[in-house]
């Protein structure tokens, strides 16, 4: 035990090891934070998409990416009726509410979309609502009017009639400067725009609340995808999933491989022969096609994939390597001594043979983790990712399907790829340093 | 010679054979290596005996057979009246606690990844000494018995941090920690510096006398045997060719092989400077294909044609309590 601690202390002398450990520490910290902040079931629910994301823009890039380039692309603004005061006029049998949803718009780029979400409470009789757009220059534009039954989404941007009337898509046509010279290149009229809701209620008790969403073109740290989902969820949840997959697969394969190799060496005879033949057969079986087959024919659950990866990894080339290292150890006098003072087979294998190989195993094990992380990502990119879990590979898969690079959504590919590379880099740097600490003969090379 | 099958006999070997199968193509039988080929002896409680012979005479195979590491092909080992072959797993484990083993290469005999405290605790853990305090106390006692004091300063040392002599003391301590009634030491000093050999032998001898242990001590060095053993068995080609009390054997060697061995001991006497030893030529016999008759006859200066190369000599008793397997004493 003390020797391991001393080994860890030695690691401090390798800057690459320190950097690697910091990277791993960051990833572990992120994982812990993620699992606490977004519980598993909530993450699955969020990633399934749908109504959670209705107030997020589609394919918005990260805020920092735009600000770094000196842009002022708009972020999403949500104007809620709860935050404004409505003018109320009573009349026999009902009320008239005038709700001004005003917002200050300063960006030089148009928003990506305009939507209005209306909710009617406490009334059986649907109110009538008229939508009037008031521009900063004092001009007014009546968008239309309709009866609102209960919960309603008014897709202003998809109002074809309005679009025809304005000559532009509504979120441009409503917000452009009419005085700007070239109508084919409209400019934003900055200032306070107001969406005035003129509501007539046929009831005394009922009320109406509304959210005007002025969708931006940038969003958060990670941006959003084609389903309006915040990529942050997938990037964050991808971390614990990737680390768990890599770690479990690496532990599962290396430890079982080592113990099985040691059993073969210790018991010899048919045990050894069986293990060796199994290994030789397994070594010529291609792993990826088998995984693709399992994924296609059976299930793409990440835990099933993990099981298959571990199962195929047990009888791998590692068995041959460990066998070669263990054969001379088997004949060591201390093993004979252990037998002579009564140590049983299990004890000799686990306490006397395996520890001799551990110094070689640990660096291999650490550098093995990212290969499994990459394997999981590759499977996801191939479309065999877990159907419900948000992972880095799934993000890449979506990006590929939506032609992200062709469409210029670089952030969609770069951020999961960067996290994958950081993971690989962190474990590789630590692994190489561990190799030098535990196998000192390499140090002089 | 079942002369001593009394209550004081601790261990007895009866017609013991340990043969190793030779294989051709991995499965065809191609004969046997007859490492131990018909050995009889009885060890009394509390005595120190030496098995002497050159390399490849089957000494180490005999030691391993006595320890239960090799299964005898024929014959039996009887320990405290119980037959070793008849023991079940549990019985064998108990037997292993009663017989300690000291190996030749002290560094190889110690697991390099365990510290001394752990190395000495292992046998205790295996034999069910659960209590940590008891284990610690016994480990410390064992270290003190082999004169590694203060014990505390050695507990956390790893084998590579110790000198060869200290390593061998740890090996001896490990053999003692289970409080055995017998210790088998296979060339315990042959890998050590000449300067510490006598120390280690004296230590083993002292412990043997103090504890009343039976010590079977395997060596190829006749010169030191006189001081550390009471009886000698001379082995040649997988057999015991001569046995007697130590002084009797060294002073009156009967078998031509023993005589040759004794003649080969360098004697630092200036008068001997020009004397030539009559060392028999030739190689030790192949154990896979031993010569017929007496195993020694191809090298024996006294070999009698028609007898020694045909019939195996039985044990003769040319002097009282002194057995020699040679046709000369017929």
Asked if residue A58 belongs to a domain, the reply is no
State yes or no: pLDDT of B30 exceeds 50. yes
* Same domain? A317 vs A172: no
CA B171/CA B169 separation, integer angstroms: 5
Mutation target vs B (from A340, A346, A438; most B CBs, 10 A cutoff): A340
> Hunting for tokens 């018909």 — which residue is that?
B38
Same domain? For A19 and A129 the reply is: no
Asked if the C-beta of A441 comes within 8 angstroms of chain B's C-beta atoms, the answer is: no
A128 and A105 both lie in a single domain: yes
B258 exposure class (CB count in 10 Å sphere: 0-12, 13-18, 19+)? buried
Instruction: Say if A59 falls within a structural domain.
Output: no
- pLDDT at position A123: 78
Q: How far apart are CA A282 and CA A279, in angstroms?
A: 5
CA distance A422 to A416: 10
For residue B176, give the chain A residue with the closest CA: A341
The label of the residue with tokens 């003692």 reads B176
pLDDT band at A213; cut points 50, 70, 90: very high
pLDDT band at residue A441 using 50, 70 and 90 as cut-offs: low
Condensed to tens digits (0 to 9), the pLDDT of residues A241-277 reads: 999 999 999 999 999 999 999 999 999 889 999 999 9
Distance between CA atoms of B330 and B321, rounded to whole angstroms?
16
In this predicted model, what pLDDT tens digit does every residue of A31-75 receive, in sequence order? 999 999 999 999 999 998 888 888 899 999 999 888 998 888 999
Tell me the pairing of strands B214-219 and B48-52.
parallel
Chosen from B111, B120, B156, B179 to mutate, greatest number of chain A CBs within 10 A: B111
* pLDDT band at A94; cut points 50, 70, 90: confident
Separation of CA B144 from chain center = 25
Question: Is residue A67 in a domain?
Answer: no
Q: A residues 315-334 near B, CB within 8 Å? A: 332-334
Gyration radius from chain B CA atoms: 21
Whole-number Å distance between alpha carbons of A425 and A16: 10
Name the domain boundary from A168, A188, A215: A215
| Mutation for B interface: A1, A330, A333, most B CBs within 10 A | A333
Degrees (nearest 5) of the Cα angle A357, A359, A364?
Answer: 95
The answer to whether the Cβ–Cβ distance between B108 and A341 falls below 8 Å is: no
Is residue A221 assigned to a domain? no
| Beta-carbon separation of B96 and A332 below 8 A | no
- Give the confidence band of A371 by pLDDT, cuts at 50, 70, 90: very high
- Residues of chain A with Cβ-Cβ distance to B109 below 8 Å are 333-334, 337
CB contact under 8 A, B112 and A356: yes
Q: How far does chain A reach from its first CA to its final CA, in angstroms?
A: 28
Say which DSSP state A61 is in. B
| Domain boundary, last residue among A185, A215, A245 | A215
Asked if B126 and A344 come within 8 Å (Cβ–Cβ), the reply is yes
Band the pLDDT of A440: cuts 50, 70, 90: low
User: Stretch B154-175: mean pLDDT, rounded?
Assistant: 92
Sign of dihedral through CA atoms A368, A374, A380, A383?
negative
At B167 the pLDDT is 94
Place A415 in a pLDDT band, splitting at 50, 70 and 90: very high
Q: CATH number of the domain that A147 lies in?
A: 2.60.120
Interface with chain A: mutation pick from B122, B156, B170, B187, highest number of A CBs within 10 Å: B122
Three-class secondary structure of residue A119 per DSSP = strand
Quick check: A3 contacting B, CB < 8 Å?
A: yes
Q: How far apart are CA B53 and CA B235, in angstroms?
A: 5
**B219 - beta bridge partners?**
B52
In contact, B110 and B119? CB cutoff 8 Å: yes
| Burial (CB count <10 Å: 0-12, 13-18, 19+), residue A11 | middle
Question: Do residues A99 and A135 share a domain?
Answer: yes
- Residue A356 touches chain B, beta carbons under 8 Å: yes
Residue A269 within a domain: yes
Closest approach of chain B CAs to the CA of A239, in angstroms? 36
Query: Residue B280 — very low, low, confident or very high, per pLDDT cuts 50/70/90?
Result: low
- The DSSP bridge pattern shows strands B182-186 and A113-121 to be unpaired
Same domain for A86 and A186, yes or no, is yes
The domain containing residue A88 runs over which residues? 74-215
Distance between the two ends of chain B, CA-based, in angstroms? 17
Mean pLDDT of B49-66: 89
pLDDT of residue A179: 76
Asked if A313 and A273 sit in the same domain, the reply is yes
Q: Which residues of B touch A338 (CB under 8 A)?
A: 111, 122
| Both structure tokens of A305 | 């994939």
Phi, psi of A218 (to 5 degrees): -130, 155
Q: Note whether residue A184 is domain-resident.
A: yes
State how far residue A333 is from chain B, nearest Cα, in angstroms: 5
Q: Which of A2, A341, A356 sits opposite B126 (nearest CB)?
A: A341
Contact (CB<8Å) B110/A334:
yes
Instruction: Report the candidate in A109, A173, A181 with the shortest Cα–Cα distance to residue A139.
Output: A173
Distance from CA of A271 to the nearest CA of B (A): 16
Q: Do A337 and B101 touch (CB under 8 A)?
A: yes
Integer-rounded Cα radius of gyration of chain A:
31
Would the CB atoms of B93 and A334 count as touching at under 8 Å?
A: no
**Minimum-distance CB partner of B108 among A334, A341, A342:** A334
* B69 vs A339, A352, A356: nearest CB: A339
Choose among B115, B127, B171: nearest Cβ to A342.
B127
Residue A60 lies in a domain: no
Residues A62, A217: Cα–Cα separation, whole Å: 9
**What is the pLDDT at residue A177?**
84
Q: Do A341 and B105 touch (CB under 8 A)?
A: no
Residue A418 has pLDDT above 80, yes or no: yes
Domain boundary among A215, A247, A269: A215
Tokens of B73: 């092909």
Q: Do the interacting molecules here have an ipTM over 0.90?
A: no
3-state secondary structure chain B: CCCCCCCCEEEEEEEEEEEEEEEECCCEEEEEEEEEEEEEEEEECCCEEEEECCCCCCHHHHHHHHCCCCCCCEEEEEECCEEHHHCCHHHHHHHHHHEEEECCCCCCCCCCCCCHHHHHHHHHHHCCCCCHHHHHHHHHHHHHHCCCCCHHHHHCCCHHHCCHHHHHHHHHHHHHCCCCCEEEEECCCCCCCHHHHHHHHHHHHHHHHHHCCEEEEEECCHHHHHHHCCEEEEEECCEEEEEEEHHHHHHCCCCHHHHHHHHCCCCCCHHHHHCCCCCCCCCCCCCCCCCCCCCCCCCCCCCCCCCCCCCCCCCEEEECCEEECCHHHC
In a shared domain, residues A391 and A327: yes
Torsion sign, CA atoms B301, B306, B307, B308 = positive
DSSP state of A224: B
Contact B113 A347 (CB under 8 A): no
Helix boundaries (H) for A93-159? none
Omega before residue B150 within 30° of 0, cis: yes
Question: Which residues does chain A have within 8 Å of residue B174's beta carbon, measured at their own beta carbons?
Answer: 337, 341
Arithmetic mean of pLDDT, A177-202: 85
Question: Do residues B46 and B214 make contact, with C-beta atoms less than 8 angstroms apart?
Answer: yes
Mean pLDDT along residues A124-132: 88
Q: How far apart are CA B34 and CA B19, in angstroms?
A: 4
Residue of A nearest to B97 (CA): A341
Measured distance CA(A297)–CA(A312) in Å, rounded: 17
Q: Cα(A187)–Cα(B113) distance, rounded to whole angstroms? A: 76
* A338 interfacial to chain B (CB closer than 8 Å): yes
Higher pLDDT, B220 or B137: B137
Q: Give, for A262, the enclosing helix (H) or strand (E).
A: helix A231-267
In which order are the strands placed within the sheet that holds A207-215?
A: A77-80, A207-215, A113-121, A151-155
C-beta atoms of A347 and B126 within 8 A:
yes
Of the candidates A2, A341, A352, which has its C-beta nearest B178's C-beta?
A341
Residue B289, pLDDT score: 83
Same domain, A200 and A255: no
Interface of B to A at Cβ within 8 Å reads 64, 67-69, 92-93, 96-97, 99-101, 103-105, 108-113, 115, 122-123, 126-127, 156, 158, 171, 174-175, 178
Tell whether A55 is covered by a domain. Answer: no
> Is A259 found in the same domain as A160?
no
Tell me what the mean pLDDT of segment B310-315 comes to.
88
- Largest separation between any pair of C-alpha atoms in chain B: 68
The Cα angle at residue B25 between residues B22 and B27, in degrees rounded to 5: 65
Shared-domain flag, residues A267 and A415: yes
Q: Are residues A350 and A237 in the same domain?
A: yes
Residue A265: give its domain's CATH number.
1.10.3720.10
pLDDT band at B287 (very low <50, low <70, confident <90, very high): confident
CB contact under 8 A, B111 and A338: yes
Asked if A322 and A395 sit in the same domain, the reply is yes
Distance (Å, whole) CA B46 – CA B48: 7
Number of domain units in chain A: 2
Instruction: Give A339→chain B minimum CA distance, Å.
Output: 8
- CA–CA gap between residue B141 and residue B138 (Å, rounded): 5
């Amino acid at each position: 035990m003390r020797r391991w601690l001393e080994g860890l202390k030695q690691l401090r002398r390798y800057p690459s090891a320190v950097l690697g450990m910091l990277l791993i520490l960051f990833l572990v910290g992120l994982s812990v934070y993620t699992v606490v902040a977004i519980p598993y079931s909530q993450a699955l629910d969020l990633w399934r998409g749908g109504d959670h994301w209705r107030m997020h823009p589609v394919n918005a890039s990260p805020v920092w990416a735009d600000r770094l380039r000196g842009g002022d692309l708009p972020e999403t603004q949500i104007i809620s009726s709860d935050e404004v005061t409505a003018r109320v006029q009573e009349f026999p049998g009902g009320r008239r509410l005038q709700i001004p949803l005003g917002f200050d718009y300063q960006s030089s780029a148009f928003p990506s979309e305009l939507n209005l979400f209306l909710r009617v409470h406490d009334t059986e009789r649907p109110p009538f609502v008229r939508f009037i757009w008031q521009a900063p220059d004092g001009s007014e534009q009546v968008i239309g009017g309709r009866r609102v039954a209960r919960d309603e989404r008014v897709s202003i941007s998809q109002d074809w009639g309005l679009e025809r009337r304005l000559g532009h898509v509504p979120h441009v046509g409503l917000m452009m400067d009419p005085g700007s010279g070239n109508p084919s290149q409209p400019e934003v009229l900055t200032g306070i725009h107001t969406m005035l809701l003129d509501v007539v209620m046929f009831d005394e008790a009922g009320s109406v609340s509304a959210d005007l969403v002025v969708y931006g073109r940038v969003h958060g740290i990670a941006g959003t995808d084609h389903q309006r989902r915040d990529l942050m969820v997938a990037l964050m949840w991808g971390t614990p999933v990737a680390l768990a997959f890599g770690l479990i697969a690496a532990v599962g394969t290396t430890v079982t491989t080592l113990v099985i190799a040691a059993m073969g060496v210790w018991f010899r005879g048919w045990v050894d022969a069986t293990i060796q033949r199994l290994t030789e057969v397994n070594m010529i079986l291609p792993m990826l096609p088998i995984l693709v087959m399992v994924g296609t024919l059976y299930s793409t659950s990440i835990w099933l994939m993990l099981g298959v990866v571990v199962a195929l990894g047990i009888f791998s080339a590692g068995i041959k390597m460990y066998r070669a290292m263990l054969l001379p150890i088997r004949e060591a006098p201390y093993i004979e001594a252990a037998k002579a003072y009564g140590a049983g087979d299990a004890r000799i294998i686990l306490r006397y043979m395996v520890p001799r190989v551990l110094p070689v195993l640990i660096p291999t094990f650490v550098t093995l983790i990212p290969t499994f992380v990459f394997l999981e990502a590759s499977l996801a990119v191939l479309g065999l990712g877990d159907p419900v879990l948000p992972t880095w590979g799934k993000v890449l898969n979506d990006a590929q399907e939506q032609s992200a690079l062709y469409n210029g959504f670089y952030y969609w590919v770069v951020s999961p790829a960067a996290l994958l590379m950081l993971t690989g880099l962190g474990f590789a740097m630590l692994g190489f340093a561990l190799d030098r600490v535990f196998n000192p003969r390499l140090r002089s090379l | 010679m079942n002369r001593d099958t009394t209550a004081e006999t601790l261990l007895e070997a009866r017609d013991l054979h340990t043969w190793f199968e030779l294989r051709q193509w991995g499965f065809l039988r191609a004969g046997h290596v007859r490492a131990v080929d018909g050995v009889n002896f009885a060890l009394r409680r509390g005595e120190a005996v030496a098995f002497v012979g050159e390399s490849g005479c089957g000494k180490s195979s005999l030691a391993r057979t006595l320890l239960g590491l090799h299964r005898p092909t024929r014959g039996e080992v009887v320990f405290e009246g119980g037959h070793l072959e008849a023991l079940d797993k549990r019985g064998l484990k108990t037997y292993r606690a009663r017989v300690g083993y000291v190996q030749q290469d002290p560094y190889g005999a110690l697991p390099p990844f365990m510290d001394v405290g752990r190395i000495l605790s292992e046998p205790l853990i295996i034999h069910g000494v659960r209590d940590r305090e008891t284990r610690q106390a016994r480990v410390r006692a064992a270290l003190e018995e082999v004169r590694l004091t203060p014990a505390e300063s050695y507990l956390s040392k790893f084998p590579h941090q110790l000198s060869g002599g200290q390593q061998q003391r740890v090996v001896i301590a490990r053999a003692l920690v289970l409080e055995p009634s017998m210790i088998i030491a296979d060339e315990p000093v042959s890998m050590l510096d000449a300067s510490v050999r006598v120390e280690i032998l004296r230590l083993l001898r002292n412990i043997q006398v103090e504890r009343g242990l039976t010590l079977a001590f395997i060596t190829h060095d006749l010169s030191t045997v006189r001081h550390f053993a009471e009886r000698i068995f001379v082995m040649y080609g997988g057999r015991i060719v001569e046995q007697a009390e130590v002084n009797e054997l060294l002073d009156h060697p009967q078998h031509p092989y023993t005589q040759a061995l004794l003649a080969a001991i360098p004697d630092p006497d200036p008068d001997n400077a020009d004397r030539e030893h009559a060392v028999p030529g030739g190689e030790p016999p192949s154990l896979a294909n031993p010569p017929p008759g007496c195993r020694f006859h191809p090298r024996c200066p006294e070999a009698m044609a028609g007898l020694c190369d045909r019939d195996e000599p039985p044990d003769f008793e040319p002097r009282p309590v002194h057995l020699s397997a040679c046709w000369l004493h017929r």
